[in-house]
Amino acid sequence: MRLRARLLTGLLLGVAALPAPAADAPEAIYVNARVWTADPARPAAEAFAVRGERFVAVGNDAGVRRLAGPDTRVVDLQGRRVVPGFNDAHWHLPSRRSARLDNAGSVAEIQRRLLEYAQSLPAGSWVVGRGWMPTDFPDRRADRRYLDEIFPDRPVVIRDRDGHQALANSRALALAGVTRDTPDPPDGRIGRDGQGNPTGLLQEAADNLVTDLLPPLSAEDTYRLLLEELSAVAALGITSLQDATDVGLTDNERSALERAQADGKLTVHYRAAVPLEPDPTPEQLQRAVELRDGTRGHLLYYGFAKGMLDGTVDARTAYMLEPYVGGGNGLPFYTQADLDRDVAAYDRAGLQVALHAIGDGAIRMALDAYENAARHNGPRDRRHRVEHVEVPALADVPRFRALGVIASTQAIFATPDASTLENYAPLIGPERASHAQPFRLFDEAGAVQAFGSDYPVYPMDPLLGIYTAVTRQTRAGTPPGGWYPANRISVEAALTHYTRDAAYASFDEADKGTITPGKYADFVVLSQDILSGPPQRLLDARVLHTVLRGRETYRAAPGAP
Ligand SMILES: [Zn+2]
């Protein structure tokens, strides 16, 4: 009764507020803002109040100001745009430092960046890079000779942008003992020339032949790398990450995250996956459940099991219902029977499953496995996920809503760069390309779509992701009108996928995803109003403040552009 009276008073004041004793004034109020809340019950507001880790009131300026006590900090946001903290629903902690080869565009540029990066390393140590694309090489043929030219004696391995193939030089192949007589490993392919000699290209699991030789990071190096990543995360307005690494965290990574949490340096909600074990034992399932339940409410927490069903289109390892243009197809990493068995086992244990599936064949297998689990285990709020879900068959799009399956998409995958236009799209042909990365189709079909970046495969900047979802153009504004523009979505829809929907995808909608009284005070202040004006504004806007559970994790330097 008292609660209702207070809520009523709040409404009269123009604020939705949690009931609180009068002495318990907010620690901070943020006023004079343009707040986009992501909360359908109150989409826009001017001000909000924070007490402890949570929002306690959201409403108009006058109403929120009235809540201030003598010790309340009043922050005037000067009319700036505020949105909920971004939630990257598909992210990975980089396992090591590497030269960034993104958008190199040519062999010469790859060589230049590798040489420059190698200068920062101890002499003779491995040179590791990532981010190249087949289109960077003549005839789209990555070959070890381009690396041998600059590093004849030093081992080099560079992973492609999607992380599904690597190129090693001759020294690295020699250290790994890879010769013309080496058979392809299961789930992998060693690239070979006309004479059968290895070209240095190592697809899918074949890259382990070389990458297993890389010296592991020490615990201290892992911690330092984590702190660097966390500061980049906060500077981009991200307050929640969902680490979708299929092998789960390494011992070093888990220790680094736990240490950061204990030191008060974990500046993000960090939800980590556990591996989807083949034919899991009751003990394995029990451990996954205990890990989830034992970390609930912590910044570092668990709760989903990640598996891989196929590769990527660019490497022709995504499993398609029909072959690639020019022939060939990827092979699924599971039989349907094994997948059904494993998914049903996790489902029965009450765990959420996330399956990497890019090709329409793999996506269908994932949906079939989820449908099978529901049929066998009965109704439940399961929220299983398909990760990437790049080229779904049109007939399968409505199944996401029907089965309650989350489409975990990456807006930035729709960047129409040279790789997309010259390799990706031709490989699947115009009919399938016309509904690749179908953000609007998923929205229209009523699916819950959670946005992520797949960092470090792609940049994690959510504003860049939103720009891509809204324009389907490169940063340079090409192609005119956008790549298959029918699948563009609005800024508001893209923001929703990066906030409210991503929180739903991790069962966190009671605590996160909108600026609503009672939820964690996770929010971002932007330099520009991204909800009005041309899309270019998304590229120009900067994050000014990031706040996690009421605590500032990032503040732009004064006078920064
Ligand atoms: Zn990923």
* CB 425 within 8 Å of CB 433: yes
Cis peptide before 479 (omega within 30 of 0): yes
pLDDT for the residue numbered 8: 43
pLDDT for the residue numbered 12: 45
Distance 387 CA to ligand 1 centre (A): 8
Count Cβ atoms within 10 A of the Cβ of residue 325 and give its class: 0-12 exposed, 13-18 middle, 19 or more buried: middle
Question: What is the C-alpha to C-alpha distance for residues 57 and 72, in angstroms, rounded to an integer?
Answer: 13
pLDDT for the residue numbered 121: 85
* CB 273 within 8 Å of CB 244: yes
User: What pTM value is reported for the model?
Assistant: 0.87
Distance 424 CA to ligand 1 centre (A): 18
Confidence of residue 23 (pLDDT cuts 50, 70, 90): low
pLDDT, tens digit, for every residue of 209-232? 999 999 888 899 899 999 999 999
- State CA 216 to chain mean position distance: 24
Distance 12 CA to ligand 1 centre (A): 47
pLDDT, tens digit, for every residue of 492-537? 999 999 999 999 999 999 999 999 999 999 999 999 999 999 999 9
Distance 555 CA to ligand 1 centre (A): 29
Distance 314 CA to ligand 1 centre (A): 15
Distance 493 CA to ligand 1 centre (A): 22
Distance 406 CA to ligand 1 centre (A): 15
pLDDT for the residue numbered 516: 98
pLDDT for the residue numbered 1: 35
| Mean pLDDT of the 235-262 span | 96
Secondary structure element (H or E) that encloses residue 91, with its range: strand 86-91
Distance 377 CA to ligand 1 centre (A): 28
* Radius of gyration of the chain, Cα coordinates, nearest whole angstrom: 24
Asked if the model's pLDDT at residue 200 lies above 90, the reply is: yes
* CB 56 within 8 Å of CB 17: yes
Distance 66 CA to ligand 1 centre (A): 46
pLDDT for the residue numbered 100: 87
Sheet holding 34-36, edge to edge: 44-45, 34-36, 81-84, 523-526, 543-548, 551-555
Residue 12, Ramachandran bin (φ over 0: left; ψ between -120 and 50: alpha; else beta): alpha
Pairing label, strands 449-451, 44-45: unpaired
pLDDT for the residue numbered 558: 80
DSSP 166-198: EEE-HHHHHHHT--TTPPPPTTEEEEE-TTS-E
Distance 458 CA to ligand 1 centre (A): 10
* CB 389 within 8 Å of CB 357: yes
Distance 556 CA to ligand 1 centre (A): 29
Distance 308 CA to ligand 1 centre (A): 9
Distance 278 CA to ligand 1 centre (A): 19
Report the mean per-residue pLDDT for the chain. 94
Distance 307 CA to ligand 1 centre (A): 10
| Mean pLDDT of the 368-372 span | 98
pLDDT for the residue numbered 98: 87
Return the structure tokens found at 202: 């190592």
Q: Can you tell me whether residue 331 is helix, strand or coil?
A: coil
- Dihedral pair phi/psi, residue 344, rounded to 5°: -65, -35
pLDDT for the residue numbered 419: 85
Return the structure tokens found at 226: 């984590």
Distance 410 CA to ligand 1 centre (A): 10
* CB 240 within 8 Å of CB 87: yes
Cis peptide before 456 (omega within 30 of 0): yes
Beta bridge partner(s), residue 352: 304
Angle 455-365-243 from CA coordinates, rounded to 5°: 20
Asked if the model's pLDDT at residue 4 lies above 50, the reply is: no
| Mean pLDDT of the 425-446 span | 98
Distance 89 CA to ligand 1 centre (A): 10
pLDDT for the residue numbered 560: 54
Distance 162 CA to ligand 1 centre (A): 8
Asked if the model's pLDDT at residue 559 lies above 90, the reply is: no
Distance 152 CA to ligand 1 centre (A): 32
Distance 46 CA to ligand 1 centre (A): 37
Return the structure tokens found at 537: 């504004």
Question: What is the C-alpha to C-alpha distance for residues 356 and 309, in angstroms, rounded to an integer?
Answer: 6
Distance 130 CA to ligand 1 centre (A): 14
Distance 60 CA to ligand 1 centre (A): 41
Distance 72 CA to ligand 1 centre (A): 42
pLDDT, tens digit, for every residue of 484-497? 999 999 999 999 99
Count Cβ atoms within 10 A of the Cβ of residue 182 and give its class: 0-12 exposed, 13-18 middle, 19 or more buried: middle
Closest CA to 201 of 151, 246, 146, 153: 146
Q: Can you tell me whether residue 343 is helix, strand or coil?
A: helix
Distance 393 CA to ligand 1 centre (A): 21
pLDDT, tens digit, for every residue of 233-242? 999 999 999 9
Sign of the four-CA dihedral 432, 437, 442, 447: positive
Distance 245 CA to ligand 1 centre (A): 6
Distance 171 CA to ligand 1 centre (A): 29
pLDDT for the residue numbered 124: 85
Q: What percent of the chain has pLDDT over 70?
A: 96
pLDDT for the residue numbered 2: 41
Residue bearing the bigger pLDDT, 103 or 513: 513
- Dihedral pair phi/psi, residue 167, rounded to 5°: -120, 125
pLDDT, tens digit, for every residue of 262-301? 999 999 999 999 999 999 999 999 999 999 999 999 999 9
* CB 280 within 8 Å of CB 346: yes
Angle 283-284-286 from CA coordinates, rounded to 5°: 60
* CB 522 within 8 Å of CB 551: no
Question: What is the C-alpha to C-alpha distance for residues 141 and 132, in angstroms, rounded to an integer?
Answer: 12
Distance 542 CA to ligand 1 centre (A): 26
pLDDT for the residue numbered 509: 98
pLDDT for the residue numbered 13: 53
Angle of helix 282-294 relative to helix 336-348, nearest 10 degrees, comes to 50
Distance 165 CA to ligand 1 centre (A): 14
Distances (CA, A) of 297 to 158, 271, 300, 549: 38, 11, 8, 12
Distance 160 CA to ligand 1 centre (A): 13
| Mean pLDDT of the 442-449 span | 98
Question: What is the C-alpha to C-alpha distance for residues 494 and 249, in angstroms, rounded to an integer?
Answer: 29
pLDDT for the residue numbered 164: 82
Distance 11 CA to ligand 1 centre (A): 44
Asked if the model's pLDDT at residue 376 lies above 90, the reply is: yes
Distance 161 CA to ligand 1 centre (A): 11
pLDDT for the residue numbered 9: 45
Secondary structure element (H or E) that encloses residue 262, with its range: helix 251-262
Q: Can you tell me whether residue 130 is helix, strand or coil?
A: strand
Distance 189 CA to ligand 1 centre (A): 20
